[in-house]
Amino acid sequence: MPKRGYHHGNLRQALVEAALKLIAEKGPTGFTLSEAAKTAGVTPAAVYRHFEGREDLIAEAARQGYEIFADLMDYAFDEGRPSAVAAFEATGRAYLAFAEKYPGHYVAMFESGISVNRTPELAAASARARGVLEKAAEKLSQHIPPERRPPAAMFSAHIWAMSHGVVELYARGAPGTRAPFDAAELLEAGIGIYLRGLGLIAPD
């Protein structure tokens, strides 16, 4: 069976897409570079023209994931429209949507053990994603009296941790750990309690 042809520059992306498929199916350590090459329809030697090893391939998948993630979060935030609170809650929903729609990227980013500092490009993409949520937190924090205002980085870290926890435990967890209610509703309720505690949402 002849190998699939690729235009110049497409082979690298074909290998990333093959890795994403394998990561989603087998986990970040469940495949070899040879399997990635086979999935992409190329010889194993071709992989080494673009990546030094499996971790470099996973790092590139993670970098692309962070770029998509940041774009989704930025779109959800929409510069604080229609309100700072609604926009902030939308970023939480975007987190869940990303984990569901891009499982290979999500695992490469958060479950592969690859440091975000492995490459400058990966570090920059990760920082951009954090920056979107920090920007949302900073905009929302303006409504909190200065003496009660947490640093935007802490504020966003709390929401990131809550979103990540809901994804890991209830959206991606084993069947026995799934909550008896929708993951999005669980996260929305958690964010609501947090924002009420800061006085950003009136008590029921």
| C-beta neighbour count of 106 within 10 angstroms | 26
Q: What is the mean pLDDT of the chain?
A: 84
Q: What pTM was computed for the model? A: 0.84
* Cα–Cα distance, 54 to 112 (Å, whole number): 11
Residue found by looking up tokens 């990546």 in the block: 51
200 has a pLDDT exceeding 60: yes
- Go through the domains of the chain in sequence order and give each one's CATH number: 1-51 (1.10.10.60), 58-197 (1.10.357.10)
183 pLDDT band, cuts 50/70/90, is confident
192 has a pLDDT exceeding 80: yes
Average pLDDT over residues 118-129: 93
Q: Which of 120, 12, 28, 135 is nearest to 66 (CA)?
A: 120
201 has a pLDDT exceeding 60: yes
* Cα–Cα distance, 137 to 123 (Å, whole number): 21
* Cα–Cα distance, 138 to 70 (Å, whole number): 16
Q: What is the pLDDT of residues 77-100, one digit of tens each?
A: 888 788 878 887 888 889 899 999
Q: What is the pLDDT of residue 137?
A: 84
Q: What does the angle CA 16 – CA 92 – CA 142 come to, to the nearest 5 degrees?
A: 125
Q: What is the pLDDT of residue 170?
A: 79
Residue found by looking up tokens 């499996």 in the block: 54
* Cα–Cα distance, 142 to 51 (Å, whole number): 45
Question: Which among 4-8, 68-72, 142-146 has the top mean pLDDT?
Answer: 68-72
| C-beta neighbour count of 94 within 10 angstroms | 21
Q: Which of 71, 63, 58, 74 is nearest to 133 (CA)?
A: 74
4 has a pLDDT exceeding 70: no
Q: What is the pLDDT of residues 25-78, one digit of tens each?
A: 999 889 988 899 999 988 888 888 888 888 999 999 999 999 999 999 999 888
Collect all residues with Cβ–Cβ distance below 8 Å to 101 and sequence separation of at least 6. Answer: none
* Cα–Cα distance, 17 to 64 (Å, whole number): 10
Q: Which amino acid is at 22?
A: L
